[in-house]
Structure 1
């Protein structure tokens, strides 16, 4: 009888524990920089967990931080992301244009682009400090390239910029 009660309790409490685990900050953001030869643009896509984004907005003083239900909240966080990601192309600081954002699963995606140099080859210098001002343990990964030729760089609070070639 005691065995059945323990099993029943475990079954009832398991979904609650799983929900609590999903509610914790993941403290990781992933950005991808790739050349789109068809459009002639360097495309940047940032992926941030929705819960982390909402927590960051609240930490910055937003009264209502609802990334899924409020376009205003989503756009406010997208603006924050674009300010916290720095990019140079061939030694020149560039400000990638904001293209838009969307929610897929539990992630907020923020898209940017900048015109690629002629020939599509460039030396990039970049630094991702997304959410490092919110959490000391935040880790940001930046992937350069696409397909099977991807280089990954990891940034934390205070990390110095990294350099990588961008090739077609």
Structure 2
């Protein structure tokens, strides 16, 4: 009977260790999304980047300063938004458009960066490159969804990925 109790305790310790290791890795998701969508109302292409606030908090300390405070320093959020904009590239019919930065915002869970460009006539090809956070976290995955051109298309970017092309 003593042996059975030891096995039950061992099993409980293993379950607790597994749960704690999963909880520790759950904080940093290393995942972000960008949506490129055609606004049917005004014809513009809208780009919306979404990062988890928790991930952004960790990254700004690595990228900018160890005492950077993402939630209480508006300048830190602005710097992160600029960083996101600098790491996203798009070509429309092999031309690099000038994207307007509309703004950024943070809620309790996500940090959003908004960009926009007037859609050129007759887009036949969209090329994208999204490298945000790849130098900080080699396992970072950036998903880009392209909407408004028929079915939704997705591109997944990992460290080392370069331009990806969608022919329309």
TM range (shorter): 0.7 to 0.9
2:70 paired residue number = 67
Determine which of 159, 162, 165 is the counterpart of 1:160: 162
1:126 paired residue number = 128
Shift, 1:77, TM fit = 0.2
Shift, 1:148, TM fit = 8.2
Q: Where do 1:1-168 residues align within 5 Å?
A: 21=24, 24-118=27-121, 121-146=123-148, 149-165=151-167
Shift, 1:68, TM fit = 2.5
Query: Are the aligned partners of 2:39 and 2:148 in contact in 1 as well (CA < 8 Å)?
Result: no
Ranges in structure 1 where 5+ consecutive residues have no aligned partner: 1-12
| Aligned counterparts of 2:50 and 2:152: Cα–Cα separation in 1 | 16
SS in 2 for 1:87: strand
Shift, 1:92, TM fit = 0.8
Shift, 1:85, TM fit = 0.6
Could you say which structure has the higher strand fraction? Answer: 1
SS in 1 for 2:59: helix
Q: Provide the alpha-carbon RMSD of the alignment.
A: 2.8
Which 4+ residue blocks in structure 1 deviate beyond 4 angstroms? Answer: 20-23
Deviations 1:64-111 (A, max 9, x none): 333332211111000000000111111012231111111234110100
Ranges in structure 2 where 5+ consecutive residues have no aligned partner: 1-15
SS in 1 for 2:84: helix
Q: Which moved more, 1:128-137 or 1:49-58?
A: 49-58
Deviations 1:5-33 (A, max 9, x none): xxxxxxxx9xxx6xx64872110010000
Query: Are the aligned partners of 1:53 and 1:67 in contact in 2 as well (CA < 8 Å)?
Result: yes
Q: TM-score, normalised by structure 1?
A: 0.79
| Aligned counterparts of 2:53 and 2:26: Cα–Cα separation in 1 | 10
